[in-house]
C-alpha cells in the first residue's frame, strides 16, 4: 500500500485532529473520574465501520503496533516511578504479578469453561488476558485519590510487572505449546523468561546509566531520546534471546529513572509525552478493530458473567493469596482488589490469538472488549468513594499542603514549591519553627504577589508559597516534616523524636 501526497495530507489532517481531541478529552475524563482510555476507545469505534467507515481488520498489524505502544507505556512507567516509594511494597507487587496472576487465570478459566461453555483453549486465554492490570488505566484514576505509598507502590509494581508473565502465557497457549509440553514445562519457561528478562533489564539499565553520565552529547534534547532508546533496546535484547522483553524494558526504565542522569526532568517530560501519544494511538486503534455488529446478547452476557467472576471472586482471592508474601491490613487489600483496573492491556493481548488465527479468537476479543468497558465504568468512578469508605485515603495532604518539585541538576537537589492552603495548620508558624533537616533552606516566601527573603522569625500565612531547596537525599524527609506541621501545627513531632520511635 502506497500513499500519494493527497492521502498523506488527509492522514495528517485527521490524525492531528483526533490527537488534539484526545488530549482535550483528558480533562473531561479526569473530571468524571474515568480513565481516558474509554473516550479513546469510543473515538476509535466512531471512526470505524460503525461511524465514519474506516476499515481496519489487520490483526497482525494491531498486534505489532499494540506491543510497540505497550513498550513505550511501560518505559514511561519505569522512568517516572520512584524506587524509594515502591520498594516497601515490592514483595506484594511481585506476589500479585506471579501468585495473583496464577490464581486469577485458574479461577476465570474454570468459570469460562464450565459456566460459559467455552473450549479450554479460549477459556484459559480469557483468564490469562484479563489477569493483567493496566498501569495507564489505574493511575489515570488514582491521581484523583491521595493514597499512602504502600498502596500506590503495590499497585504500580503490579501493573509494571504482571504484563511479562501474562504475555508469555498467552503466546504459549495460543501456539499450542502449553498443551504439548505440559504445565511444568510451561511454568519453567515462564520463570526463565522473567529471570532472564530482569537480568537483561538490570544490565542495560546500569550500563546505560554509566554511559549517559559520561556521554557529552551536543544537545540536551538528545538525552531523553537516548534514554528512551535504551529502554527499547532492553526490550529488543530480551526478545532476541527469547526472554521477557516486557520485564526487561520495565526493569531497565526503573533503573534509569532512579539514577542521577543529566536532564532527568526533560527525560521524564519527554517520556510522558511519548507515552500519551502511544496510549492515544493504541486505544483508538483497538476501537477501530472492534466490529459492533458482532456484539450479540450472548457476547454481552458472557462478558458480564466473566467480569463478575473476575471482579468479585478471582481478584479478591488473588490479592489475599499474594498478601501471604507481604501482609497488609484487610482494608488495604480490599482497596487493592477493587483498584485492579484492566484497561487496554487485555484487549492488546487478545490480538495474539487473533493474529494466530485461533478459532473463536474474535469472540474472545469481543468479550474482553465489553468486559473492559463495563467494569472500568463500574470501578473507576467509584475508587474515591471506596477509598473513603475503607479509610485508606490520606485526606490531610491535598487539603492542607500542596508540594511541587523541580530538579536542580547541577547540585543534585530539588526546588520544592509549597503552597499553604486555607485549612493548613502551618498558618502562624515561624520559619525557624519548621525545624527542617540540616542543609534544607527556605529561600523565598511569595505572599500576595510579592516576594520576601524569610528570616527565622518570619510568620507563615494561609496562601503563602514557599520555595525550599532540599538535597535530593533529604527530599522525602523534608516533605514528611512539612506535612506533619501542616496537619498538627508547631506542636508536630520533631524529626529527632520521629526517628527514635
pLDDT at residue 496 in the model: 44
Give the cell for residue 233.
533496546
- What CATH number does domain 398-500 carry, 3.60.70.12, 1.10.20.10, 3.30.200.20, 3.30.70.1450? 3.30.70.1450
Average pLDDT over every residue of 417-425: 85
- Cα(213)–Cα(228) distance, integer angstroms: 15
At residue 5 the predicted structure's pLDDT band, cuts being 50, 70 and 90, is low
What is the model's pLDDT at position 265? 73
CA distance 123 to 23: 36
Write the DSSP symbol of residue 405.
Answer: E
Overall pTM > 0.95: no
Order of strands across the sheet with 465-471? 401-408, 413-420, 465-471, 441-447, 450-452
Average of pLDDT values for 133-156? 74
Phi, psi of 451 (to 5 degrees): -110, 150
pLDDT band at residue 8 under the 50/70/90 scheme: confident
How far apart CA 18 and CA 111 sit, in angstroms, is: 39
Give the cell for residue 472: 535530593
pLDDT value of position 317: 94
Cα–Cα distance for residue pair 276/20, rounded to 1 Å:
12
Kindly tell me if the per-residue pLDDT of 494 is higher than 60. Answer: no
pLDDT at 234 over 60: yes
> Does residue 97 contact residue 166 with C-beta atoms inside 8 Å?
no
CB 288 within 8 A of CB 56: yes
What is the rounded distance in angstroms from the CA atom of residue 154 to the CA atom of residue 325?
Answer: 12
Q: Among 179-183, 226-230, 256-260, 311-315, which stretch is predicted with the lowest mean pLDDT? A: 179-183
**How far is it, in rounded angstroms, from Cα 192 to Cα 361?**
28
pLDDT at 33: 52
Q: Is the pLDDT of residue 220 over 70?
A: yes
Sorted by where each begins, the domain ranges of the chain are 12-215+231-260+267-390, 398-500
In sequence order, which ranges of 52-148 are alpha helices (DSSP H)? 59-79, 83-86, 90-95, 101-114, 120-129, 135-142
Return the CATH architecture of domain 12-215+231-260+267-390. Answer: Up-down Bundle (1.20)
Amino acid at each position: 500500500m502506497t500513499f500519494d501526497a493527497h492521502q498523506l495530507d488527509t492522514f495528517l489532517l485527521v490524525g492531528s485532529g483526533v490527537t488534539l481531541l484526545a488530549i482535550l478529552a483528558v480533562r473531561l475524563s479526569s473530571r468524571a473520574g474515568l480513565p481516558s482510555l474509554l473516550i479513546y476507545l469510543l473515538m476509535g469505534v466512531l471512526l470505524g465501520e460503525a461511524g465514519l467507515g474506516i476499515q481496519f481488520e489487520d490483526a497482525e498489524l494491531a498486534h505489532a503496533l499494540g506491543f510497540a505502544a505497550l513498550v513505550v507505556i511501560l518505559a514511561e512507567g519505569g522512568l517516572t516511578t520512584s524506587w524509594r516509594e515502591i520498594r516497601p511494597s515490592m514483595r506484594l507487587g511481585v506476589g500479585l504479578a506471579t501468585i495473583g496472576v496464577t490464581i486469577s487465570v485458574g479461577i476465570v478459566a474454570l468459570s469460562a469453561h464450565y459456566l460459559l461453555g467455552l473450549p479450554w483453549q479460549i477459556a484459559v486465554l480469557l483468564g490469562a488476558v484479563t489477569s493483567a492490570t493496566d498501569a495507564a488505566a489505574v493511575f489515570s484514576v488514582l491521581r484523583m485519590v491521595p493514597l499512602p505509598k504502600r498502596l500506590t507502590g503495590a499497585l504500580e509494581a503490579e501493573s509494571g510487572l504482571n504484563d511479562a508473565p501474562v504475555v508469555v502465557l498467552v503466546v504459549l497457549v495460543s501456539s499450542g505449546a502449553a498443551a504439548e509440553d505440559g504445565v511444568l514445562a510451561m511454568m519453567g519457561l515462564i520463570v526463565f523468561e522473567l529471570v532472564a528478562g530482569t537480568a537483561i533489564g538490570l544490565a542495560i539499565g546500569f550500563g546505560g546509566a554509566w554511559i549517559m553520565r559520561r556521554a557529552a552529547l551536543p544537545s540536551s534534547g538528545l538525552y531523553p531520546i537516548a534514554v528512551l532508546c535504551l529502554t527499547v533496546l532492553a526490550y529488543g535484547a530480551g526478545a532476541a534471546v527469547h526472554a521477557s522483553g516486557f520485564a526487561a524494558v520495565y526493569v531497565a526504565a526503573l533503573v534509569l529513572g532512579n539514577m542521577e542522569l543529566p536532564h532527568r526532568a526533560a527525560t521524564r517530560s519527554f517520556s510522558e509525552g511519548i507515552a500519551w501519544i502511544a496510549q492515544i494511538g493504541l486505544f483508538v486503534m483497538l476501537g477501530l478493530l472492534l466490529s459492533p455488529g458482532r456484539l450479540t446478547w450472548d457476547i454481552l452476557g458472557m462478558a458480564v458473567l466473566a467480569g463478575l467472576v473476575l471482579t468479585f471472586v478471582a481478584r479478591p482471592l488473588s490479592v489475599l493469596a499474594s498478601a501471604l508474601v507481604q501482609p497488609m491490613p484487610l482494608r488495604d487489600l480490599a482497596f487493592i482488589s477493587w483498584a485492579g483496573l484492566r484497561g487496554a492491556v487485555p484487549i492488546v493481548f487478545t490480538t495474539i490469538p487473533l493474529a494466530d488465527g485461533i478459532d473463536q479468537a474474535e469472540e474472545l476479543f469481543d468479550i474482553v472488549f465489553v468486559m473492559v468497558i463495563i467494569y472500568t465504568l463500574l470501578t473507576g468512578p467509584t475508587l474515591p468513594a471506596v477509598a473513603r469508605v475503607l479509610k485508606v485515603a490520606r485526606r490531610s495532604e491535598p487539603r492542607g499542603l500542596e508540594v511541587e518539585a523541580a530538579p536542580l541538576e547541577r547540585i543534585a537537589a530539588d526546588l520544592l514549591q509549597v503552597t499553604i492552603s486555607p485549612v493548613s495548620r502551618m498558618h502562624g508558624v515561624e520559619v525557624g519553627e519548621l525545624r527542617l533537616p540540616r542543609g534544607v533552606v527556605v529561600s523565598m516566601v511569595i505572599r500576595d504577589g510579592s516576594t520576601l527573603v524569610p528570616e527565622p522569625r518570619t510568620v507563615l500565612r494561609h496562601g503563602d508559597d514557599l520555595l525550599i531547596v532540599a538535597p535530593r537525599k533529604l527530599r522525602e524527609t523534608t516533605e514528611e516534616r512539612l506535612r506533619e506541621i501542616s496537619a498538627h501545627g508547631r506542636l508536630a513531632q520533631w524529626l529527632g523524636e520521629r526517628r527514635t520511635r
